[in-house]
Structure 1
Amino acid sequence: MNARNVTVMTFNLRRQSAEDEGNAWSFRKGYAAEVVKRYRPTVAGTQEGLYDMLEYLDRELPEYGRVGEGRNGGTENEYNAIFYRKEELAVREWGQFWLSEYPSEPREMSWGATHHRICTWAHFQTRNEPQKQFLHYNTHLDHSSQLARAKGSVLLWERLSDHKNRLELPALITGDLNAEPDNPVIAFLRGQTEVNGAHCALKDAYSVLAGNPGLSFHGFKGGEEGGPIDYIFVTPDVHVDGVAIIRDKFDGKLPSDHYPVLAKIRL
């Protein structure tokens, strides 16, 4: 890879659930792995992966390393795991915090959230040009509480901006934000509005597109009509060369109930 070029994916894997019947993870896990093999992202922020699911992807994608823990701590419950190409990147440091009033541990859910919500982050260094480094934050905002989405996005920005300023590094965010483009949370992350006096300074990768990118959550039904809830954001010092929602099918099947999103950026 050219050390200045990074391909970024965000991919909600859809957790294993018997209620999905023929779309359960056991029937589509090979397709999820194939998406990553086909597009070869440098980094991929995933959501909803359970321990066994991620172990499967580790076996199928040996060229990738992975960081992250479950949202209930350790290996429990869903991860916001970050996968990275080991031949291209080294992990300098990584960590995790909870999007709640108690960011350091999974104590109790805040702001009306229905689940513990987390952000997993990694500080990466390119192997062929070690001075080129960046931060990657990967998250999953609450699906039911707008207050939790708003408060969580402010906490996310505060942590990322402090981290970026201390290390003087470019940064990116991937995630299922459970918010379409007209949601105030997206306006906040785009720097278009303030939340409780906080002002964000990020670029939405979709901004390079001429029109509406279309939906990213499809509930295994496919289609394009609607707006995305899966996003890639970057700090102003990162250039976005392109972005696309991947709507590939495999043997007529979709690999998840969300489409992956892929962006090409320059650090």
Structure 2
Amino acid sequence: MEVSIMTFNLRFHTETDEGNCWTYRKDGVADIFARYRPTVAGTQEGLSGMLDDLQQRLPEYAWVGEGRKGGSECEHNAIFYRKDEVQLVDWGQFWLSEQPAGPLEKSWGATHYRISTWAQFRFKADPERQFLHYNTHLDHSSQLAREKGSRLLWERLEAHRSRVRLPVLLTGDMNAEPDNPAIAFLRGQLEADGARSTLTDAYLTLPGEPGLSFHCFRGGEEGRPIDYVFASPDVAWTGVRIIRDRVNGLYPSDHYPVLAQAVL
């Protein structure tokens, strides 16, 4: 089955962004969803009200997830999905910490609580075909937290994949460029704690460098990405691009969304 996967850091709502605050960007974010029609989209930094804004503008989508402080508190790693293409089977969430099930804990020098939301979907066109989607946001300040977080992500999703025997997708703002050990580990290029990931990075299918994905509302292409789409080895990539569109003259976020296509 063909599937399109997006990762999109929405940039949380703050009035300090002035003309780039969520008030002025929410229609643009919804336009990106409507224009590119991802089957599933892992988002980061969405506050509860922001996600409600998108839901109102995108009736063809639903979403799952909780805030990183539980319930609707704080930023979410919400997963959006097209209701006409896939059906939600199950979902859950855990913390990237030394106590993944909670209670709330910041581990390894992280400045914020960090979480991963996951969902299991079945294709409506072929209900026997299902897949897992994990979505996350690694810490921006602690390298140890990024490395330990990536290791925990791999451990959890691989155990889940082995248990249900389904392909798995991983999206996220990893706050790390491709040569960072956290990314090298997820790419299977670096062993950590005796483990080696078998995930594939969609960017590695490109003939050249993907360019910048975080741009601070300044735009541009020169640089390296920190937003990624990974998959288990039973997923075949057919394309990937960083979307650098403006909508009504504004960038929808301080991150560009990344869109990948695959066959599961």
User: Runs of 5+ in structure 1 lacking a partner?
Assistant: none
1:104 and 2:101 matched: yes
2:195 equivalent in structure 1: 198
Give the equivalent residue in structure 2 for 1:186. 183
Aligned with 1:157 (options 148, 154, 159): 154
SS of the aligned residue for 1:158 comes to helix
Question: Percent identity at matched positions?
Answer: 64
Q: Which of 24, 31, 42 is matched with 1:45 structurally?
A: 42
Root-mean-square deviation (CA), in Å? 0.6
Counterpart in 1 of 2:14?
A: 17
Structure 2 distance, partners of 1:106, 1:76, is 14
- Opposite residue 204 of structure 1, the aligned amino acid is D
Aligned to 1:235: 232
Give the counterpart letter for 2:162 in structure 1: N
SS in 2 for 1:220: coil
Paired residue secondary structure (2:162): helix
Instruction: State yes or no: 1:247 paired with 2:244.
Output: yes
**Structure 1, residues 215-260: CA drift from partner, whole Å, max 9, x if none?**
1000000000000000000000000000000000112210000000
Structure-to-structure mapping, 1:112-127, within 5 angstroms: 112-127=109-124
User: What is the CA distance between 1:106 and its match in structure 2?
Assistant: 4.3
Aligned pair 1:143/2:135, yes or no? no
How far is the alpha carbon of 1:24 from its aligned partner? Answer: 0.3
- Alignment partner of 1:58: what SS? helix
Partner amino acid for 1:92?
A: V
1:22-48 CA distances to partner (integer Å, 9 max, x unpaired)?
Answer: 100001110011000000000000000
Partners of 1:105 and 1:210 lie apart in 2 by: 42
- Report whether the alignment pairs 1:257 with 2:254: yes
User: Which residues of structure 2 form unaligned runs of 5+?
Assistant: none
Q: What is the alpha-carbon distance in structure 2 between the residues aligned to residue 220 and residue 249 of structure 1?
A: 10
Query: Normalising by structure 2, what TM-score?
Result: 0.99
Distance 2:170 2:41 in 1: 11
Q: CA deviation at 1:107?
A: 2.0
Q: Which amino acid aligns with 1:198?
A: A
Q: TM-score, normalised by structure 1?
A: 0.98
Q: Which runs of 4+ in 1 moved over 3 A?
A: none
Find the residue that maps to 2:148 and give its secondary structure. helix
User: For residue 29 of structure 2, what is the amino acid of its counterpart?
Assistant: A
C-alpha distance in structure 2 between counterparts of 1:157 and 1:60, whole Å: 34
Q: Which amino acid aligns with 1:36?
A: F
**Hey, what's the Cα distance between the residues in 2 that align with 1:252 and 1:123?**
36
